Amino acid sequence: MPRLLIIEDEDAIRRVLKKILLDEEHNYDIDEAEDGLKGVDLIKKNNYDLVLCDIKMPKMDGLEVLSVCQKLNPELPVIMISGHGDLETAVETMRMGAFDYISKPPDLNRLLNTVRIALDHTQLALENKQLKKKVSRQFEMVGKSEELGRIKSMIDKVAPTEARVLITGQNGTGKELVAHWLHEKSERNKGPFIEVNCAAIPSELIESELFGHVKGAFTSANKDRAGKFEAANGGTIFLDEIGDMSLSAQAKVLRALQENRVQRVGSDKDIKVDVRVIAATNKDLKEEISEKRFREDLYHRLAVIIIHVPSLKDRRADIPELIQHFTEKIAKEQGTKPKVFDPEAISLMEKHNWTGNIRELRNVVERLIILGDHKITKEDVKTFVQIKRT
Ligand SMILES: Nc1ncnc2c1ncn2[C@@H]1O[C@H](COP(=O)(O)OP(=O)(O)OP(=O)(O)O)[C@@H](O)[C@H]1O
């Protein structure tokens, strides 16, 4: 039930507003306050979805109420009620962040419309927040190891800058998660995050994938197509497995980095792009350079900051939390109650000779959950994981 607050010193106006709103929607739960001070007090105590607030009031006027609201909850929409002579102030309140204003005496349709739009807006903001939380949970970086702590603080430092980042580490260590957070915690987070797995794209297609092509550029190019760099404009492009990129594509990426311009395959027209590049590799790029498989100039452009994500083997302190995390995730996927790992079972898992890929740990947890009883014991671990002590 939407909760509304009307702050208005004139009794008659308060009554009219309340009546109009309740006639339209019996479901509104409406509180009233006859001055700004009482209004602010109620806002502090309750969770409102919308506030209607008069501008001229004794004790505390509408402008002050609005500025307190903005501090307490910037997402709470405040609709100002303006009387004769304070239209200019009403416009000023919009600049300050009021959702809208209505004039006295209130016009029925305008009032109802404004309230409806403001409440939809609150609902949308709430859904957005929940969606964001869900997405953040999907990309949660779980673990208590010092190594992971260092990575997280690097992300916090580097993300807000425009610096290019090279993320190194073997497969399945969480490089993609790092890239995701570098984008999320940057100013570009409202822009797109485009991921390209360079190893998964055949070398003859990589240039067209990254830079797009024009019709007729090659046999199957039957229409113009934008590439990933253009798609990432205003955001971040994540070039995963960059060590697998062909030398000719590397040359074009280098140009894109130097000039912030790309050319679609088959065209000589420059297209300006504003993209932050984050790259990742499981290869030793220094070795690739010495073998002439990777351009040194590109390496230096990409590796302004290097974040190395150690193998799970080198950050075993993360294992207990990861087990818990995957147990809860799997239970949710299966619609069951999470099973419980015995502390001895966890300790045995910590010592297992893992490949270092976190996906392997997840698979093992899933296997134990499927095959074990409600409580996963040390014996289950010995039977189902084939523990080799390190
Ligand atoms: N710290 C962590 N907490 C929770 N899940 C994690 C963590 N690190 C990695 N994962 C999960 O492990 C899987 C592999 O992670 P990710 O894809 O980020 O690794 P990667 O190094 O990019 O792997 P690849 O090189 O194979 O692409 C993903 O499902 C990811 O969600």
Q: Do residues 223 and 103 share a domain? A: no
Closest C-alpha residue for ligand 1 atom 23: 172
pLDDT tens-place string over residues 93-114: 998 899 999 988 888 898 999 9
Select the more confidently predicted residue: 36 or 87.
Answer: 36
CA-CA distances (angstroms) from residue 176 to 180, 236, 238?
6, 13, 8
Q: Which pLDDT score, from 0 to 100, does residue 386 have?
A: 67
pLDDT tens-place string over residues 298-348: 999 999 999 999 999 999 999 999 999 999 999 988 888 889 999 999 999
pTM score of the predicted model: 0.70
Residues near 230 by Cβ (< 8 Å), separated by ≥ 6?
A: 211, 212, 262, 271, 273
User: Which ligand 1 atom minimizes the distance to the CA of 197?
Assistant: 27
Mean pLDDT over 190-200 rounds to 92
Q: Within a domain: residue 347?
A: yes
Q: Do residues 297 and 158 share a domain? A: yes
Q: Which pLDDT score, from 0 to 100, does residue 371 have?
A: 87
Q: Do residues 262 and 377 share a domain? A: no
- pLDDT for residue 387 is more than 60: no
Q: Please give the distance, rounded to the nearest whole angstrom, from the Cα atom of residue 171 to the centre of ligand 1.
A: 8
- pLDDT for residue 175 is more than 90: yes
The closest alpha carbon to 328, from 356, 366, 295, belongs to 366
Q: How many domains does the chain have?
A: 3
- In the chain the beta strands, taken as DSSP E runs, fall at 3-7, 29-33, 50-54, 78-82, 100-103, 165-168, 193-197, 212-213, 225-226, 236-240, 261-263, 270-272, 276-281, 305-308, 340-341, 375-376
User: Which ligand 1 atom minimizes the distance to the CA of 142?
Assistant: 3
ipTM of the complex in this document: 0.96
Q: Which pLDDT score, from 0 to 100, does residue 58 have?
A: 86
Mean pLDDT over 172-191 rounds to 94
User: Which ligand 1 atom minimizes the distance to the CA of 358?
Assistant: 12
Q: Do residues 281 and 328 share a domain? A: no
Query: Is residue 177 within 6 Å of ligand 1 at its C-beta?
Result: yes
Select the more confidently predicted residue: 88 or 175.
Answer: 175
Q: How far apart are CA 305 and CA 178, in angstroms?
A: 13
Given its phi and psi angles, is residue 131 left (phi above 0), alpha (psi -120 to 50 degrees) or beta? alpha
Q: Which domain holds residue 339?
A: 313-385
The neighbouring-strand residues paired with 197 are: 240
Domain boundary among 310, 330, 352: 310
pLDDT tens-place string over residues 64-87: 999 999 999 888 999 999 887 788
Q: What is the 3-state secondary structure (H, E, C) of 149-191?
A: HHHHHHHHHHCCCCCCEEEECCCCCCHHHHHHHHHHCCHHHHC
Q: Within a domain: residue 139?
A: no
- pLDDT for residue 38 is more than 80: yes
Q: Please give the distance, rounded to the nearest whole angstrom, from the Cα atom of residue 53 to the centre of ligand 1.
A: 49
- pLDDT for residue 201 is more than 90: no
Query: Is residue 175 within 6 Å of ligand 1 at its C-beta?
Result: yes
Residue from 313, 358, 359, 361 whose mutation best tests the ligand 1 pocket (most atoms within 8 A of CB): 358
Q: Do residues 63 and 198 share a domain? A: no
